[in-house]
């Protein structure tokens, strides 16, 4: 079932998806100012407010989980699993429940005092009287990487052309999304964007929730410069090192043969396809040589509008007669839905999907634990 060459089971980080776009919510009756000192440029957590509280996260290796972990550890506290019916009163401990991946789960859970989730689930939660917003992760970790596109090396190395076309269509979609947001309410593009977002998020969300949610997200495939993944180049080494340090991984970078995060990131990230995609986009005849369609499976997180661009890329924006961006580039894309980042990581890892959109931490954790790239 598995390809035996080490290189082929590698997973590489190919492009960005978004930064920011998650938020921490908290019970209505908890005083926000006891948990953060908002007078600092970056809000600073206050230990006494956090102690003993229970937070819901969408899974132990998701970015939301890791960020809460970083906050807790930053205050010298343990971030421990909450056991229903167990003893949850240890000193210097913040608790988590790691299966709160959506608004329904959060609103239905009897134990949590708060939690962290992506948009638009976050918006839905804070619109409910039970919870209120505590802080956006943008404000805590400005510009933090959130979702990224990861690719299965076994696929990308054999299908370089398709990979480049996939990224090109994706880049086009991100640009379209940002244009639509720029054009603002009232424009046809914006209306279309909201329509697609609504169908992605599901019937549980109101239009206003969707709009509010999209305002907090920054959509990006990477800065459009010579080194497109510059912001990730900056963050991934640090992320990898701190994940290991925080105990969020079971293996260390040296287990994989790396001396530090930079070395790891260098092997893990691959911007060559993205650069070629830019070339393809710049070529006015870029789509003329494409004949036929190739089938592709892409793993996504269900109901996550961070990943709205991938859905835009698969939508016939000009009506039923037109082609979607993917179709323009000769691709027939099927989505495989997972409930959280680790689910997507798994889909890529077992070759179920050629590409996946997921948070930077889950893919990094999976790659380190699975020794999926080696020095």
> Which residues of the shown chain bind other proteins in the complex (CB under 8 A)?
1-2, 4-6, 9, 59-61, 78-86, 93, 97-99, 102, 104-105, 108, 110-111, 202-204, 247-251, 302, 336-339, 342-343, 345-347, 349-352, 365-372
The rounded distance, in Å, linking the Cα atoms of 195 and 187 is 13
At closest approach, how far in Å is the CB of 167 from other proteins? Answer: 24
At closest approach, how far in Å is the CB of 346 from other proteins? Answer: 4
- CB 297, CB 336: distance < 8 Å: yes
- CB 312, CB 173: distance < 8 Å: yes
At closest approach, how far in Å is the CB of 288 from other proteins? Answer: 36
The Cβ of residue 37 has, within 10 Å, a number of other Cβ atoms equal to 13
At closest approach, how far in Å is the CB of 210 from other proteins? Answer: 16
Of 204 and 293, nearer to other proteins (C-beta) is 204
At closest approach, how far in Å is the CB of 183 from other proteins? Answer: 29
Residue 156, token pair as written in the block: 């990308």
Alpha helices in the chain (DSSP H): 47-50, 63-74, 103-108, 121-127, 137-140, 153-156, 160-183, 188-201, 207-215, 230-245, 261-268, 272-282, 308-312, 325-328, 341-349, 360-369
At closest approach, how far in Å is the CB of 196 from other proteins? Answer: 15
Look up residue 332 and give its DSSP letter: E
At closest approach, how far in Å is the CB of 225 from other proteins? Answer: 32
Sorted by sequence, the CB contacts under 8 Å of residue 90 that are 6+ apart come out as 78, 80
Of 2 and 38, nearer to other proteins (C-beta) is 2
Of 100 and 145, nearer to other proteins (C-beta) is 100
**From residue 75, how far is each of 38, 67, 92, 120, 141 by CA, in Å?**
16, 13, 9, 29, 16
Interstrand relation of 11-16 and 147-152 (parallel, antiparallel or unpaired): antiparallel
Of 98 and 317, nearer to other proteins (C-beta) is 98
φ/ψ of 243, rounded to 5, equals -60, -45
The rounded distance, in Å, linking the Cα atoms of 258 and 147 is 24
The rounded distance, in Å, linking the Cα atoms of 306 and 218 is 8
Of 222 and 343, nearer to other proteins (C-beta) is 343
Of 202 and 318, nearer to other proteins (C-beta) is 202
At closest approach, how far in Å is the CB of 291 from other proteins? Answer: 30
The rounded distance, in Å, linking the Cα atoms of 269 and 260 is 14
At closest approach, how far in Å is the CB of 316 from other proteins? Answer: 18
Of 92 and 262, nearer to other proteins (C-beta) is 92
Q: 93 by DSSP, 3-state: which?
A: strand
Of 9 and 172, nearer to other proteins (C-beta) is 9
Of 122 and 176, nearer to other proteins (C-beta) is 122
The rounded distance, in Å, linking the Cα atoms of 170 and 15 is 10
């Amino acid at each position: 079932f598995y390809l035996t060459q080490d290189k082929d089971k590698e997973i590489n980080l190919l492009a960005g998806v978004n930064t920011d776009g998650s938020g921490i919510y908290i019970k209505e009756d908890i005083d926000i100012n006891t948990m953060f000192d908002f007078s600092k440029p970056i809000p600073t957590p206050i230990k006494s407010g956090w102690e003993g509280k229970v937070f819901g996260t969408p899974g132990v290796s998701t970015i939301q989980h890791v960020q809460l972990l970083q906050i807790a550890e930053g205050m010298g506290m343990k971030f421990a699993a909450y056991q229903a019916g167990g003893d949850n009163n240890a000193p210097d401990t913040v608790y988590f429940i790691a299966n709160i991946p959506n608004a329904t789960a959060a609103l239905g859970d009897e134990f949590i005092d708060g939690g962290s989730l992506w948009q638009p689930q976050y918006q839905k939660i804070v619109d409910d009287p039970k919870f209120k917003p505590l802080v956006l992760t943008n404000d805590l970790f400005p510009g933090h990487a959130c979702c990224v596109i990861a690719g299965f090396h076994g696929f990308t190395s054999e299908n370089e052309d398709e990979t480049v076309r996939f990224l090109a269509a994706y880049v086009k979609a991100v640009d379209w999304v940002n244009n639509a947001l720029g054009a603002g309410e009232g424009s046809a593009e914006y209306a279309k964007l909201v329509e697609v977002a609504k169908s992605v998020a599901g019937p549980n969300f109101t239009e206003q929730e969707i709009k509010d949610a999209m305002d907090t997200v920054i959509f990006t495939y990477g800065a459009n410069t010579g080194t497109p993944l510059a912001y990730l180049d900056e963050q991934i080494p640090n992320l990898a090192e701190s994940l290991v340090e925080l105990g969020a991984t079971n293996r260390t970078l040296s287990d994989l043969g790396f001396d530090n995060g930079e070395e790891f990131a260098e092997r893990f990230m691959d911007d060559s396809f993205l650069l070629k995609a830019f070339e393809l986009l710049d070529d006015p005849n870029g789509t003329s040589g494409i004949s036929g369609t190739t089938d592709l499976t892409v793993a996504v997180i269900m109901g996550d509008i961070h990943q709205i661009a991938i859905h835009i890329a698969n939508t016939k924006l000009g009506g039923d007669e037109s082609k979607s961006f993917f179709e323009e580039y000769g691709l027939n894309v099927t989505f495989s839905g997972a409930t959280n980042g680790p689910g997507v990581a798994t889909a890529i890892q077992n070759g179920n999907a050629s590409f996946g959109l997921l948070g930077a931490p889950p893919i990094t954790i999976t790659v380190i634990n699975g020794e999926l790239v080696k020095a």
